[in-house]
Amino acid sequence: MIHGFSSRTLLSVCALSVAGVLALPPAASAAGGTASGGAAGAGPVAAGGAEPTPGGPRAALPEASLLYRPGVQVRLRAGAPRIPSVSALSWVVADADSGDVLAAYAAHRKLPPASTLKTLFALTVLPSLPAGQEHTVRPEELEGIGPGSSLVGVAEGHTYRIADLWRGVFLNSGNDAVHVLASLDGGWEATAERMQATARALGAHDTHVRSPDGYDTPGQVSSAFDLAVFGRAGLHNADFARYCRTVEAQFPGGGGWTYGIQNTNRLLTGADGVEPYPGLIGIKNGYTTNAGNTLIAAAHRGGRTLVVTVMNPQEGGAFAVYEEARALLDWGFAAAGRVDPVGSLDALRSRPQPGPAATPTPTPTPTAVSAADAVAVAHTDEPDGSGWGSAAAFTAAACLGAGGLLLARRRKGGRGDTP
């Protein structure tokens, strides 16, 4: 049972509106220039046939279709560093504050995401479950966990705080913790539906959710673009930023004793000989047989926050995903002010279009933090309550939107079988 849990119906209605709060749109960019593509490791790519000078006028933001083109997409100015050689099937480098995509390769290629999909799960479910609430796990909540799943050790009959379960998700990538949290939020199938709605609201149209924990399931795909959208959105919330940045924590083992768990993101922890990345905020790594190694990583340096996604490196072994992310982060920071964006993480995000009879309503001020602020927040102690409180108040008002009401009507009771 869960103690002190508020009405899930209202929270379900709010979930889709939360997605709008999570990503902050960039200001309109100045005009000038055209887009070009290039190959990995190639020299500077001229925009419009001429090389802009460093610090010159920023080129116009290209249309979203540029990121659907094959090959590396980048708009280098004179003196910009070369794109590193990367073997991943798909990758993206983006500015987490503005949403500008600085470079990408096969950004919209649909691939299995593995546990990086847990970022979308967190974006969808975190607002509904206060961190300080306690819940005693029922046997049926642990049914249907896929063979070979990563587990944190959730046990039936044991009582956990919601914050404990989230640490199990972010640090140990525990599918058992995901199953319990999903059961508290309406069930497995309902959670998958809500995740799908959240993805669409954020402009992540390549993602198809079949198993909320990221477990290999036929038809479940995402893309480097979509994963960058999810990672960026997560950084705009204090709780998400804390969880993804946590290196070690104690997890309840029952009977009053606890045991240590460690984040499996080696770029954050430095485990297994992988050198930790300076300024890394964290986010989420993943691995399955079909997906290979996947990673969403964010780092802060010199007043800038970058988010990179790397999907399924084809060379270099099990830890190549971290080294390729490192190379892309290094490039992104070194290229500051010397590249023009090739797209935006906000380009496909849905924006309400009022009809002829629509009455304008005041737009509340978003309560989400900037990606830069998330760096400081991630290092603070986690409160017993959830940092989503003020955001939830905002989204409660936004719940009158037709999209949220439709989603609430579609919700199903209970948990469906895991595919």
Catalytic site residues?
Answer: 115, 118, 173
Listed in sequence order, the residues at least 6 apart from 5 whose beta carbon sits closer than 8 Å to its beta carbon are 129, 133, 135, 184
**Could you give the CA distance from residue 16 to residue 403 in angstroms, rounded to a whole number?**
7
Listed in sequence order, the residues at least 6 apart from 247 whose beta carbon sits closer than 8 Å to its beta carbon are 262, 263, 268, 269
Listed in sequence order, the residues at least 6 apart from 315 whose beta carbon sits closer than 8 Å to its beta carbon are 87
Residue type (1 letter), 411: R
Q: For residue 408, what are the CA distances in angstroms to 184, 197, 405?
A: 15, 11, 5
**Could you give the CA distance from residue 1 to residue 407 in angstroms, rounded to a whole number?**
25
Strand segments, DSSP code E, in 107-189 are 134-136, 159-161
Beta bridge partners of 306: 95, 299
**Could you give the CA distance from residue 397 to residue 408 in angstroms, rounded to a whole number?**
15
